[in-house]
Chains A and B, each alone.
Chain A
Amino acid sequence: MKILTTVKKVVDVELNIHVKDGAIVEDGLQYVINAWDENAVEAAVQLKEKNNAETTLVSLGGGDNADIIRKCYAMGIDEGIHVDDPALAKADSAVYANVLKKVVEKGGYDLVITGKQAQDTDSGQTGIMLAEALGYPCVSNVVSIDVLDDTHIKVSRLGDSGTEIIELALPGVITVSDSINEPRLPAMRGIMMAKKKKIDSMDLAGLGISGAEAGSNALKSEVVEFMASKTRKAGRKFEGDAAKITAEVVGLLATEAKVF
Chain B
Amino acid sequence: MAKVLVIADIKQGVLKGSTLELLSKARAIGAETAVVAIGNNISSLAADLAKAGSDTQYIADDAGLDLFSAGPYASCVVDAAKQSNADMIWFGFSEGGKAVAPRVAAQLGAACATEITDVTLTNGGIEIVRPAIANKVMQRVKVNTKQLVAVVRAGAFQAVEGNTGKENVVKLAIPAADLKAVIKEIVSDATGEIDLADADIVVSVGRGAKDQAGVNLVKELANDLKAGFGSSRAMVDGGFMAHNKQVGQTGKIVAPTLYMAMGISGAIQHLAGMNGSKVILAVNKDPEAPIFNVADYGIVGDLFEVVPILREELKKIRK
Q: Could you list which residues of chain A lie within 8 angstroms of chain B, going by C-beta atoms?
A: 11, 13-14, 16-17, 19, 24, 92-94, 97, 116-117, 119-125, 128-129, 132-133, 136-141, 143, 154, 157-169, 172, 177-179, 219-230, 232, 234-239, 242-243, 245-247, 249-254, 257, 259-260
Contact = CB atoms under 8 A, between A and B. Distances in A.
A129 B133 contact: no
Given A226-B138, A242-B301, A260-B318, A164 B313 contact: no
Nearest to A13: B134
Contact of A242 (B184, B298, B305): B305
Interface stretch (B19-27, B81-89, B95-103): B95-103
Contact of B258 (A136, A177, A245, A259): A259
A205 B104 CA distance: 29
A250 to B, nearest CB: 4
Interface in B278-305: 278-281, 287, 292-302, 305
27 contacts: A119-B133, A123-B113, A125-B102, A125-B112, A128-B106, A132-B106, A133-B106, A138-B103, A143-B243, A161-B188, A166-B183, A166-B184, A167-B184, A168-B180, A169-B181, A179-B250, A220-B109, A232-B294, A234-B298, A237-B298, A242-B299, A246-B299, A246-B310, A246-B313, A249-B281, A249-B299, A250-B317
A138 B12 CA distance: 24
A221 B141 CA distance: 7
B1 interface: no
A259 B318 CA distance: 11
Given A158-B243, A221-B145, A122 B138 contact: no
B17 interface: no
Given A167-B182, A235-B297, A235-B298, A229 B140 contact: no
A224 B139 CA distance: 8
Contacts of B306: 242, 246
B214 interface: no
A13 B136 contact: yes
Contact of B131 (A122, A252, A259): A122
B309 interface: yes
A141 B300 contact: no
B136 A17 contact: yes
Contacts of B223: none
Contact of B301 (A94, A137, A221, A245): A245
Nearest to B142: A224
Contacts of A247: 309, 313
Contacts of A154: 184
A143 B313 CA distance: 41
B188 A169 contact: no
A257 B296 contact: yes
A237 B287 contact: yes
B25 to A, nearest CB: 19
Contact of B295 (A132, A230, A234, A250): A234
A225 B183 contact: no
B299 A238 contact: yes
A218 to B, nearest CB: 9
Contacts of B95: 141, 157-160
Nearest to A244: B309
Contact of A228 (B11, B138, B143, B145): B138
Contacts of B110: 220
Contact of A232 (B98, B144, B280, B299): B280
B216 interface: no
A251 B299 CA distance: 13
B257 interface: yes
B134 to A, nearest CB: 4
Nearest to A127: B102
What 6 A-B pairs are tightest by C-beta distance, nearest first? A137-B180, A132-B106, A235-B296, A220-B111, A137-B181, A128-B102
Contacts of A123: 112-114
Contacts of B105: 94, 125, 129, 220
Given A117-B249, A220-B111, A239-B301, 11 more contacts: A123-B112, A125-B105, A137-B180, A168-B182, A219-B144, A221-B144, A235-B280, A235-B296, A239-B287, A253-B281, A257-B297
Interface in B240-286: 243-244, 246, 249-251, 257-258, 268, 275, 278-281
A29 to B, nearest CB: 10
A234 B275 CA distance: 12
B107 interface: yes
Interface string B102-137: 110111011111110000000000010101111111
